[in-house]
Copies of this chain bind each other. A is one copy, B any other.
Amino acid sequence: MDLNDRKLQILQAVIAEFINTGEPVGSRSLSRSHDMGISPATIRNEMSDLEEMGYLTHPHTSAGRIPSDKAYRLYVDELMNESELPEEEKQAISHKLSETKSELDSTIEHAADLLSQMTNLTSFAIAPRANESKLKYINLLPVDETTVVLMIVPETGKVMNKALKVSPYTEDSLELLGKVMTHNYMGKTLNAVLAMDIINDFTTDMESLSGLAKDVVPSFIKTLEKMLDVDLYMNGYSNIFNLPEYSGNMEKTQNFFRMLEDKNRLTDVIVNRESGVVVTIGDENSEDMKDCSLITADYKVNGKLVGKLGVIGPKRMKYDEDTSVIKYISENISDTFEIKEEK
């Protein structure tokens, strides 16, 4: 059987209608809302064909049709026309994001915020991962007799520092320790440094430092490990209650929130998505998200891929608009954190 023009037209109409209302679409109501010059009976025949081809399903015999995952996939890949964002929305985004220009963390947070507001979905964003990023700067600074601050600056990603309680020390030994650490680890990637036998570097070689090193090195390692963690921002989860299929179904709602609360798992899923603007639909996701769709995009800092952001919501989301929003926001962030050549 062939996906001829009329079938496509009907399929598109069913998808559009279902995305809008969330109710199964019947032949009669379709012929009323989208006048395409054919009778409900004809639509019925076509729908029946579309069902056979796997694009539509039936919740039960006497209900209307709803799009299958395959239909959404077709829609996203071929049918929908990515709408250009209206100028005023673009302005609103740029304006909101420029408020925190040059502060990546806040920008990411604001981006997630915007995203959920503009899509009425649950949004998320993750800050840069640092693991393949080279250490650019390591420093130990004296604060008071028993406090020093350890600071680690990776090439991309978040600066980390930590105030450490240590036994009394001399500034000289602190400076020396800082220099040794810098010498040993600077320019290497986070992963590379963590693969080294850091503790041994200090316990065997340098007697004079071992006291201070004993206080500092474990924290250094822990801090490096913590830099591998990605921060997850999430926003707009209450939006789910605006959708009748959730607000009328406690079990679905429960699953949704349980899924969201497993932050590690969610972070994993997001981190491991392909780059670019990616849409995954229903079964294309893992079991716990199988009746959701996700759209993600990544943003760059200085031209390198570093973080992701996106939305999660029901399969009947407004793929066209939502994709545009996400795309625009991620590009906007990337632009903001581009090295300005002319500077």
Contact = CB atoms under 8 A, between A and B. Distances in A.
Contact of A141 (B151, B165, B219): B151
Contacts of A137: 141, 143, 149
Interface string A131-170: 0000011010101101001010100000101111101000
A4 interface: no
A146 B343 contact: yes
Contacts of A106: 226
A253 B238 CA distance: 10
A127 to B, nearest CB: 13
B159 A163 contact: yes
A20 interface: no
Nearest to A157: B163
Interface of A is mostly: mixed
Interface in A231-249: 236-238, 241, 247-248
A153 B141 CA distance: 11
A32 interface: no
A143 B153 contact: yes
Contacts of A139: 141
A253 B247 CA distance: 10
A95 interface: no
A99 to B, nearest CB: 10
A162 B100 CA distance: 13
Contact of A151 (B151, B248, B261): B151
Nearest to A261: B238
A254 B247 contact: yes
A222 interface: yes
B163 A153 contact: yes
Interface string A253-273: 110011001000000000000
Contacts of A219: 102-103
B237 A103 contact: no
A263 to B, nearest CB: 10
B222 A241 contact: no
Given A162-B159, A343-B146, A241 B261 contact: no
Contact of A253 (B164, B250, B258): B250
Contacts of A144: 136
Given A143-B137, A163-B159, A254-B238, A149 B149 contact: no
17 contacts: A102-B164, A103-B162, A103-B222, A106-B226, A136-B144, A137-B141, A137-B143, A137-B149, A141-B151, A149-B159, A151-B151, A238-B258, A241-B250, A241-B258, A247-B250, A250-B253, A257-B257
List 5 A-B pairs, minimum CB-CB distance, nearest first.
Answer: A241-B254, A238-B261, A238-B258, A238-B257, A159-B163
